[in-house]
Amino acid sequence: MPSVGPANIGVVGLAVMGSNLARNLASRIGNTVAIHNRSRGKTDALMSEHPEAGFVPSYDYEEFAASLQKPRTAIIMVKAGAATDSVIDALVDVFEPGDIIVDGGNALFTDTIRREKAVRETGINFVGMGVSGGEEGALLGPSLMPGGSDESWDTLGPILRSIAAIAEGEPCVTHVGHDGAGHFVKMVHNGIEYADMQLIAEAYDLIRRGTGRTPAQIAEVFAEWNEGELESYLIEITAEVLRQVDADTGKALVDVILDQAGAKGTGAWTVQTALNLGVPVSGIAEAVFARSLSSHPEQRAVSGDLPGPAESLSVADPDAFIEDVRLALYASKIVAYSQGFDEIRAGAAEYDWAIDLGAISKIWRGGCIIRAQFLNRIADAYAQTPDLPVLLTAPYFVDALTRSQDAWRRIIATAAGAGIPAPAFSSSLSYYDGLRAKRLPAALIQGQRDFFGAHTYKRIDKPGTFHTLWSGDRTEIEAEDTH
């Protein structure tokens, strides 16, 4: 096999993400990009549509490997799952020790850990990399979350820095940590995205039902919010979606879209992983479940006449109500991000990754769906206290929660009274109050567990583990800790 080809980087998989990432790479000075796709059509189309990119096409893996300089570096952008495994196998066959295979698809981080271990045994480096920002991000500058070895980062770092989004002068990429760390962080990013979207949707619903404003009028509310502390891509596009008029009916588009939200699974992964780690990401979980609830028309059809409040909501002071909703949204959003960062902290501890949480908040400031001003405040919090156990206890967030908590409680009480579902708002407040509680009813749960399962308990007033002889004379004995 020839040792030196013309390209310094290659892309395998030329659907929407891969072709845009390849074009982004080709547009940066110094890059020559090798391209390959399983079926020939996409390669030929990209070659003819973008002659300016100077791509080096190949139609089999031997040719692809031969078109790359050493160490060969290839980014895979194919359908996540079995397709990724088959492309990795094919590349391992034609690559050599020291070469680098990057999976930029949305892989489950445990698959990435498995793949990294298997590929490392061949001497080839494997990097699982989260890529956020959709097709536009891939073309113009995504937020990139690479894992993998330090050795691969030496080669990849300069290339990735050149194609990433820039936020406040800094490229939105960092070496997240080893093996599956990058895909783990991308997964949590998506979980936070689910929560943020659900919170915005609840805010919209409350304003609509509380004030009777039209989608176009509510678009103006979101546009105004985007000028302040809520400034973010998701708030910005919410205004755009609410403004959109359906060409067929002349109605607001949001009123003709079927109210059943889909999902591709990364939100569910975030929640499943959090359950395994014992991290309460209740806001993200409610967001995932809210999509599930919406997508069961057969259940909703038989439940529509269940009893609820007789009166629909009509607020006396719409402007004050909208301001309350804004504050409730901000407080709930702080909780969602705090929970997401808690999951990353717990994942890093479990999988032995040295993840810099402040650096993660910074690479999410540009190029990704959750990009927001607010992430600067998270970076500040971790700069001040790198091992902060609960993000929302950072001084800036305490101030924000002090300002918003009354409004937050009013909104949830109003929603419950009026029968308007606000699952993410409500669960975020319960989480917050749970954290604040000096004493939780968990003590009673321990008592119940000891009653039926002899699971034992600890006492507040002396060390040791105890069990009450519930079916005997109900005296307390010292016991072995069985959790």
Binding site for ligand NAP (CB under 6 A): 13-18, 37-39, 42, 77-80, 83, 86-87, 105-106, 131, 134-135
- For the question of residue 286 being annotated catalytic, the response is no
Residues β-bridged to residue 171: 166
> Toward ligand NAP, which CB reaches closer, 143 or 414?
143
> Toward ligand NAP, which CB reaches closer, 137 or 177?
137
> Toward ligand NAP, which CB reaches closer, 3 or 39?
39
Choosing from 42, 116, 186, 343, which is the catalytic residue? 186
Selection from 100, 103, 55, 97 nearest residue 82 by Cα: 103
355 Cβ neighbours under 8 A, 6+ residues apart? 176, 177, 181, 185, 344, 345, 347, 348
Choosing from 116, 193, 286, 343, which is the catalytic residue? 193
| Minimum CB–partner distance for residue 64 and ligand NAP (Å) | 12
Selection from 111, 117, 185 nearest residue 370 by Cα: 185
Which residue of this chain has its Cβ atom nearest to ligand NAP in the complex? 105
Spatial distance between the Cα atoms of 181 and 144, rounded to a whole number of angstroms: 12
> Toward ligand NAP, which CB reaches closer, 190 or 238?
190
Structure tokens given for 467: 């069990």
The pairing of strands 143-146 and 166-167 is: unpaired
| Minimum CB–partner distance for residue 140 and ligand NAP (Å) | 13
| Minimum CB–partner distance for residue 292 and ligand NAP (Å) | 20
> Is residue 422 a contact partner of residue 414, using CB atoms and an 8 Å limit?
no
439 Cβ neighbours under 8 A, 6+ residues apart? none
| Minimum CB–partner distance for residue 168 and ligand NAP (Å) | 23
| Minimum CB–partner distance for residue 76 and ligand NAP (Å) | 8
> Toward ligand NAP, which CB reaches closer, 23 or 377?
23
End-to-end CA distance of the chain: 59
Peptide bond connecting 71 to the previous residue in cis, omega within 30 degrees of 0:
yes
- For the question of residue 458 being annotated catalytic, the response is no
Residues β-bridged to residue 478: 466
List the catalytic residues: 186, 193
